[in-house]
Each structure stands twice: as structure tokens, then as C-alpha cells.
Amino acid sequence: MPQDLPRFTAAAVQAAPVYLDPDATVDKAVALIAEAARNGAQLVVFPEVFVPGYPYWNWTMNPIQGSPWFERLQRAAVDLPGPHVEALCAAARRAGVVLVIGVNERAAHSLGALYNTMLTIGPDGTLLGAHRKLVPTWAEKLTWTPGDGSSLRVHDTPVGPLGVLACGENTNPLARFTLLAQGELVHAASYIALPVAPEDYDMAEAIALRAAAHCFEGKVFTVVSCSTVSPEIVDLIAGEDQELRKQLARPRSALSGVFGPDGRPVVEPLVDEEGIVYAEIDLARCIQPKQMHDIVGHYNRFDVFRLHVDPRPHRPVLFPDGSKEDE
């Protein structure tokens, strides 16, 4: 790990996609990347499945009603590699930023498999990683196929050792520990606005709580990016259902911001509204707190506890000659 730890500006984007339109959503992302770079950002983090949006119908319709919407999402999903990813890589290269952005990834081997995928792109436009959400949460299982351990990697970037998780994965202590144990100092946590959560669930509070926990436990910085629910999304999902329209407009459904190694917000988080949160990150602030609690070092008992992670990609078929090992 370098002695000269980076200081940089991080940008957490809180925005809605152009719903189910991957071309227009990528165009919007490219414009926001350029805006963040003009304001000095060296790390830009976007929401979960920003391209081209979140399957809210899983929460508001029964599976039969939602099935045509799954097909719409499948047709609008992103290929990896593919032109939409190339456009995002080019935008990161032009802006000279490290980019984290969520996409719906269309599987190469099956029309029925979609992945909730987080892309990490370097400032030279190189795709560093594509992390597929390990476990779709609750109703999300109607849409996404689970990922595997091959993408639980921390990437060496100009802004420091960077790891990413999507939404509910940030409640998984083993997934988080896997990243911390690889030297993670900067964590990107991407979410979607969830106005369809149970009545007693405050999504903004839940996001802040998860970010604070990971930061305090690991003595790291977390950049949180959450989507918003646009009027377009409300119109498409709710139609004339006034009760559902009211539910989709529920306040405190989104929070974006940056949290420090003490678990506190570095700057005031943004709640519900579209915008970009900027914060200065100094990774040297991670050193002294680790003297007290270093859960991947002296504050652990590796003779007592041992975590085994399977890093192998899970593929539908393997041939002895290796000819079909890659999807």
C-alpha cells in the first residue's frame, strides 16, 4: 500500500435514469460525468442499475402482470462488452475520472438471465471490473440472476483501493469483509430509491446507517449514490392508480453522500432531490482509526475465524478443452 495516500474530490450522483431507454440514459450519464469532472471530481459514482432503470413492477404487480415489463427491460439491457459500456468508458477517459455505474447486464448465454451489475472504469477508460450483485433482494429475484464471488475484487485506482457493492449487499458483513481484507479504503455503495418499501422503513435512514457501519467498522470512506423516482417513472408504473402514484412519491426514499472513517457524513447528504454531492477525501484519515480497530489486521483472530471465498466464475457449461469457458 502506498505511503502517499491520495487526496481527491469524490462526486456522488443522485439522479433518475431516462427510464428503460439505454441510449438516452447513457447520454445523461455522460453529461453528468463531464459536469462532475468540471467541478474537480476524480471519482464519480452512479446509482445501482442506472442504465436503464430499476424494475419497480416487481413490487407493484403480480408476476403475471410484471412479465411483459421483464421483456421490456431485457430488450433495453446492456451487453458486456457492448456499445453502451464503450460509451461510458470513453466518457471516463475524456473526463479523466474513476467511474462506478450500475447497469442491467444482459447475459450472453440466456434470454432469461439479467444481472444487476456494477461497472468500475479507470480514468484511462479501461473496464476494471464488472461486479454482479450476489443476491437480488426480495422481489428483485423475479428479475435478476445471482452473481458469483469472482467479482468481489478491490481495484487499484488513482483514488486508492476501491471496492463496490450494490444496495442490499451493503448489509452483508461477509461481502464487506471480503473487500476490506483486500485493502479497500474507498467503498462505492450504489442504491435505488425505494418508495415501495414497507411503511415503517425509512430508506434514507437505512442507507445512511449502512454507510456509517461500513465506514466505522472498516475505517474507510464510502461514496453513496442513489437513484431518484422521476415523474416519467411514476407515469409508466402507476398510470391512473392514484394510491400507487402517491406511494411512488413517498419522501425519504433516496440518500446520496460521502461518509468518513468515523462513520459521520463528510458533507451534508442529499435526500430525494436530483443533484451531485461533492466531498473532499483524504485517505490519510484512515490511518489513526485503524490503530484502535483494524478488523482485517490486529483487531481480529485469524486463528479463530476464517472466511473462505470461492472466486471461480459460475458458468452454465464447461468443456474439457476450455472452448466454452467464457460466456
Per-residue pLDDT band for 319 (boundaries 50, 70, 90) equals confident
CA distance readout (Å), 266 to 81, 100, 270, 283, 316 = 36, 20, 12, 13, 44
Annotated catalytic residue 167:
yes
| Cis before 81 (ω within 30) | yes
pLDDT in tens, 29-75: 999 999 999 999 999 999 999 999 999 999 999 999 999 999 999 99
213 burial via Cβ count (<10 Å: 0-12, 13-18, 19+): middle
Say what angle helices 203-218 and 173-180 make with each other, to 10 degrees: 40
pLDDT beyond 80 at 158: yes
Q: Where are the alpha helices (DSSP H) in 181-293?
A: 203-218, 231-238, 242-248, 287-292
Give the amino acid at 271: V
pTM above 0.85, yes or no: yes
| Annotated catalytic residue, options 133, 169, 219, 226 | 133
Determine the pLDDT at residue 23: 98
Determine the pLDDT at residue 323: 63
24 burial via Cβ count (<10 Å: 0-12, 13-18, 19+): middle
| Annotated catalytic residue, options 89, 105, 167, 219 | 167
CATH superfamily of the domain spanning 7-292: Carbon-nitrogen hydrolase (3.60.110.10)
pLDDT in tens, 189-198: 999 999 999 9
pLDDT in tens, 211-259: 999 999 999 999 999 999 999 999 999 999 999 999 999 999 999 999 9
pLDDT in tens, 269-299: 999 999 999 999 999 999 999 999 999 999 9
What is the DSSP code (8-state) at residue 258?
E
Per-residue pLDDT band for 315 (boundaries 50, 70, 90) equals confident
Annotated catalytic residue 290:
no
Determine the pLDDT at residue 298: 97
Cβ atoms 23, 83 nearer than 8 A: no
Per-residue pLDDT band for 4 (boundaries 50, 70, 90) equals confident
Full strand arrangement of the beta sheet holding 98-106: 127-132, 114-121, 98-106, 43-45, 7-14, 275-282
Query: Would you list the domain boundaries of the chain?
Result: 7-292
Instruction: Report the chain's mean pLDDT, rounded to a whole number.
Output: 96
Determine the pLDDT at residue 236: 95
Annotated catalytic residue 48:
yes
3-state helix, strand, coil in the chain (%, to 5): 35, 25, 45
Q: Could you tell me the three cell numbers for 303?
A: 486463528
Determine the pLDDT at residue 324: 60
Residue showing cell 458458468: 315
pLDDT in tens, 97-148: 999 999 999 999 999 999 999 999 999 999 999 999 999 999 999 999 999 9
pLDDT beyond 60 at 325: no
